[in-house]
Amino acid sequence: MALTEAQRSSVRLYVGWSERFHQFDSALEQAMNALDSAPDGEAIVLTAVAACEDIDTKLTAAHGRLKAMKVGSIGLSGPGEIRALRSEGRRHAGRIASVLGVPVRHDVFSGSGPIATNYQLRG
């Protein structure tokens, strides 16, 4: 079964590939197309995408809890929770990239935007 366009967008997001120009920079697109004949690989990718989406949700919730680190005698998990979630997100993004045989181009769990290369600055 072929990946839906929404699933393809999620794969692009979590391995850090741009939605723009994917018709010209086609390594990831070709890899996703190849999943049509590899149902086990597709299942691994979709499981990892679902995990990444879950981690994104948990990260959003964790950021809201950073304001109060301790309430009375109750200590809340702090930045360590966010570090652990980001690390887990990276692990799942790496699995996606590994199954597809492409590099992770941008770490979407880093909390920062992509860094411009000299080529991007000139182009």
Rounded distance between C-alpha atoms, residue 89 and residue 91, angstroms: 5
pLDDT of residue 75: 62
Give the residue extent of every domain in the chain. Answer: 5-122
Bridge partners of 70?
A: 75
Helices 5-14 and 27-34: angle between axes, nearest 10 degrees: 130
63-97 pLDDT per residue, tens? 776 665 666 666 655 668 888 999 999 999 999 99
15-34 pLDDT per residue, tens? 999 888 877 889 999 999 99
What type of residue is 58? K
